[in-house]
Amino acid sequence: MFINQVSLQNYRNYDHLQLDSFAAVNLFIGQNAQGKTNLIEALFVLALSKSHRTNKDKELIAFHAEQARITCEAEKKYGKVKLELNFTSKGKRAKINGLEQRKLSEFVGTINAVMFAPEDLEIVKGSPGVRRRFLDMEIGQVQPSYLFHLQQYQKILIQRNNYLKQAWSSGSKDSTMLDIWNEQLVEHGVKIIKKRKHFIHKLQGWAETIHMGITGGKENLVLSYVPSFGTADEEDEAVLFEQFMVKLSQVKEQEYRRGATLAGPHRDDLTFHINGNEAAVFGSQGQQRTTALSLKLAEIELIREEIGEYPILLLDDVLSELDPYRQTQLIETFQGKVQTFITATGIESLNTERLKEAQIFHVHQGH
């Protein structure tokens, strides 16, 4: 897919911006705090309906404004599509070709984007919550049904936790009530777990090959799913259902005491091993960064497999951190296939030889 046009209105530090033409590779150059990240964040938001930086949509609205708007025109395999997202303090509304979408999940994934930003290092180094967010965003982008199950699961999880807390404080445990919550929690939880396992399995295939390439055949990257019950490779829904139910009955008393649900996809994790050693614990900074990069590049291929065309690639401040060999490797891998948007504070830090045909935009104070 190819982005032809973008406009921003009262989005972050942009009052009004209209960009009417893009190339296959686009460079946004500017000093710190001028709006480079804001601009490619807006493209990411058009793909996923939320930012990679925050869960609070309100932060996207310019300080002085009530409402923010992002629009774009994209060229997809099957034709042109116009997207529009409006944010107010009350919520967001989405349009495809001028038609208001009743469900946001129908808007998400109309265009697809992969973002690689400095904070992605946290996917390798950070807490399990960061990795779950990574999984949720990436799977949700290509499978709207995943988002549906995730939303349902999160809603039920809150209600179930409230019930557990209240039952403990009032001293009246109602097992019929808990059974009802369990049934619903497990129904959606199993779908999430199954889709995550499937995604990780496929991501592994690409990530391993790409990582081998980047490291000149020296490093073998292995991704493993760490479930809160059962084994990592079990994908049969009936078996998962049974295992989840058994696990919940085992932790029941503990759950009452803690007032929290102690098993399920909200407690899953994902680990990365390089040549047999866990990257989060033993990996060097460079190895961790390369692992995160391999994951993102693998995702590009995965999206293409899933939807039949390449997503756009957003590289925020990361190209200049790679050595010239890796910069070249990265640009060449996707040249001519993936429309790319790159931010940097100066052109000098980039391997410009490979970026000869790039279109350069100078970003200065939101213009």
Determine if residue 31 is labeled as part of a ligand binding site: yes
Residue 32 known to bind ligand: yes
User: Angle CA(316)–CA(346)–CA(328) in degrees, nearest 5?
Assistant: 65
Quick one: tokens of 38? Answer: 């804001």
**Residue 32 binds which entry of Mg ion, ligand ATP, none, CB below 5-8 Å type-dependent:** ligand ATP
- With binding defined as CB under 5 A, does residue 290 bind Mg ion? no
DSSP single-letter state for residue 18: E
Which residue's CB is nearer to Mg ion, number 53 or number 354?
53
Q: Which does 12 bind (CB under 5 to 8 A by kind): Mg ion, ligand ATP, none?
A: ligand ATP
Cα 16 to Cα 13, 62, 70, 74, 365, distances in angstroms: 9, 11, 10, 20, 12
**How far is Cα 142 from Cα 159, in angstroms, rounded to an integer?**
28
In the complex with ligand ATP, which residue's Cβ is closer, 151 or 320?
320
Instruction: Give 294 or 343: the residue with its C-beta nearer to ligand ATP.
Output: 343
- Packing angle between helix 175-214 and helix 144-170, nearest 10 degrees? 140
Choice between 37 and 71, CB closer to Mg ion: 37
DSSP labels for 35-93? SHHHHHHHHHHHHHSS-SS-S-GGGGB-TT-SEEEEEEEEEETTEEEEEEEEEETTEEE
Residue 30: CB minimum distance to ligand ATP, A: 5
Residues in 70-129 that interact with Mg ion by CB under 5 A: none
Q: In angstroms, what is the minimal distance from the CB of 17 to ligand ATP?
A: 12
Residues that bind ligand ATP (CB under 6 A): 12-13, 30, 32-38, 59, 61-63, 317, 345
Residue 222 main-chain phi, psi, to 5 deg: -125, 130
Asked whether residue 33 is marked as a ligand-binding residue, the answer is yes
Question: Is 30 flagged in the annotation as binding?
Answer: yes
Name the one residue in this structure whose structure tokens are 């390439």.
213
Interaction partner, residue 360 (ligand ATP, Mg ion, none; CB < 5-8 Å by kind): none
Task: Identify which range of 28-36, 51-59, 114-122, 128-136 contacts Mg ion by CB under 5 A.
Answer: 28-36
Q: Which of 7, 10, 34, 37 binds Mg ion (CB under 5 A)?
A: 37
Question: What crossing angle do the helices spanning 175-214 and 324-334 adopt, rounded to 10°?
Answer: 110
Residues that bind Mg ion (CB under 5 A): 36-37
Binding residues for ATP, by number, are: 30-37
